[in-house]
């Protein structure tokens, strides 16, 4: 499949998640078989002022391609200017956030709030498309609320304005991340446009990824919360789709330990040990889900301050789980 002139191999995309999908985690997920990654969202307004944090969020590496840089805002000219500035990082695509439901984004007329102004959606896509030479993708929701489901309308407008692919999260803004995603709206968008459509919402494993592809006809699936502490989901999806529904076993404790260590080493190398270890706490806790003694290990993860602390913790996790044959009561809480 191609998005514009970008060749995409595989069917699973790593979703943009603030505070999660930084360069280090994208590196890990691409190594596990993610076919496309999207950065954390970058404020177009902040880019006007040369915000260093925004440029850091948008940093890319050749080992983690293809990757789209996601931007958010509500002013077409500001969005276009931000996209032009971000070209210094050589993104494979620019993704426009029209789906973020959190109050500080949607409450400022950006993210999912754009779906209440279809004409502005088109103006933004057109402006950004004219500003840069890479493909433009958009991420939308089903609509603002259950009384304003307009994903098909928005998708058509964005395609006409120059979007090369559209991601549809099958929930409304008011749903946030609760309830069940409506895959029918993804199917409707796929039927309404000719560009590739990426389905998002309730893809939790290889089987649900396959089911979404079959039921909606979408071209790819986007994985968000199910990838937290679980980059292996991408190779599991790939194996299931390409190897006659093969279900891969979960990673061995030894592999889990190696990946955690590699991830946190990269995090600290890029952001410094103090900041890196603060951010590592949540990642490490996610990685521990399902392990013997997980509750106590997650508590200890929340106290990490140095890489040496992590080494001690991982040694204890390995010792507790190397000979484990079953789960203790409460480990999966």
CATH number of the domain where residue 78 is located:
3.20.20.70
Under the banding of pLDDT at 50, 70 and 90, the label for residue 27 is very high
Degrees to nearest 5, angle at CA 21 with 304 and 127: 145
Q: Are residues 209 and 101 in the same domain?
A: yes
C-alpha span between 94 and 83 (Å, rounded): 7
* 108 and 192 together in one domain: yes
Asked whether residue 94 is assigned to any structural domain, the reply reads: yes
- Total domains in the chain come to 2
Q: Which of 179, 214, 242 is the last residue of a domain?
A: 242
- Residues with active-site annotation: 100
How far CA 248 is from CA of 107, 189, 241, in Å, comes to 42, 32, 11
Whether 160 has a pLDDT exceeding 60, the answer reads yes
Both tokens of 186, joined, read 């993804």
Q: Do 127 and 16 lie in a common domain?
A: yes
Position 121 pLDDT exceeds 70: yes
Q: Mean per-residue pLDDT for 309-324?
A: 92
The domain boundary, picked from 216, 242, 268, lies at 242
pLDDT, residue 16, reads: 97
Q: Are the CB atoms for 173 and 101 separated by under 8 Å?
A: yes
User: Do 299 and 225 share a domain, yes or no?
Assistant: no
Please check whether residues 20 and 119 belong to one and the same domain.
yes
Mean pLDDT of 240-266: 95
Same domain, 201 and 269: no
Instruction: Check pLDDT > 60 for residue 44.
Output: yes
Is the confidence at residue 330, as pLDDT, over 50?
Answer: no
Cα–Cα nearest to 153, from 181, 185, 129, 108: 185
Please tell me whether residues 73 and 156 are part of one structural domain. yes
Whether residue 174 sits in one domain with residue 47: yes
Provide the pLDDT confidence category of residue 309 given band limits of 50, 70 and 90.
very high
For residue 324, the model assigns a pLDDT of 58
> Of the residues 242, 267, 292, which one is the last residue of a structural domain?
242
Is pLDDT at 328 greater than 70 in this prediction?
A: no
Structure tokens at 109: 């007329």
Q: Which domain holds residue 116?
A: 2-242
């Amino acid at each position: 499949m191609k998005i514009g002139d970008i060749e995409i191999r595989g069917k699973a995309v790593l979703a943009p998640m603030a505070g999660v999908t930084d360069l280090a985690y994208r590196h890990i997920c691409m190594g596990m078989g993610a076919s496309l990654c999207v950065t954390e969202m970058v404020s177009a307004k902040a880019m006007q002022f040369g915000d260093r944090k925004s440029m850091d969020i948008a940093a890319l590496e050749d080992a983690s391609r293809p990757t789209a840089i996601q931007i958010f805002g509500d002013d077409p000219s500001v969005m276009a200017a931000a996209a032009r500035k971000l070209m210094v990082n050589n993104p494979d695509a620019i993704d426009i956030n029209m789906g973020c439901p959190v109050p500080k984004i949607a409450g400022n007329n950006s993210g999912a709030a754009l779906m209440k102004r279809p004409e502005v959606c088109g103006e933004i896509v057109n402006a950004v498309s004219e500003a840069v030479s890479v493909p433009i993708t958009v991420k939308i929701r089903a609509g603002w609320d259950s009384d304003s489901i307009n994903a098909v309308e928005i998708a058509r407008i964005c395609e006409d304005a120059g979007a090369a692919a559209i991601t549809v999260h099958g929930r409304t803004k008011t749903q946030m991340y609760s309830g069940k995603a409506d895959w029918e709206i993804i199917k409707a968008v796929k039927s309404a446009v000719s560009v590739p459509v990426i389905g998002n919402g309730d893809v939790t494993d290889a089987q649900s990824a396959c089911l979404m592809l079959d039921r909606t006809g979408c071209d790819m699936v986007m994985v968000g919360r199910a990838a937290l502490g679980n980059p292996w989901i991408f190779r599991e999806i790939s194996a299931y789709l390409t190897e006659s529904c093969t279900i891969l076993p979960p990673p061995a404790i030894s592999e889990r330990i190696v990946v955690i260590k590699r991830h946190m080493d990269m995090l600290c190398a890029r952001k410094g040990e103090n900041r890196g270890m603060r951010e590592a706490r949540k990642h490490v806790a996610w990685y521990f889900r399902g392990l013997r003694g997980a509750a106590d290990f997650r508590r200890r993860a929340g106290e990490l301050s140095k890489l040496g602390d992590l080494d001690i913790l991982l040694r204890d996790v390995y010792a507790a789980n190397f000979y484990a044959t079953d789960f203790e009561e409460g480990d999966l809480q």
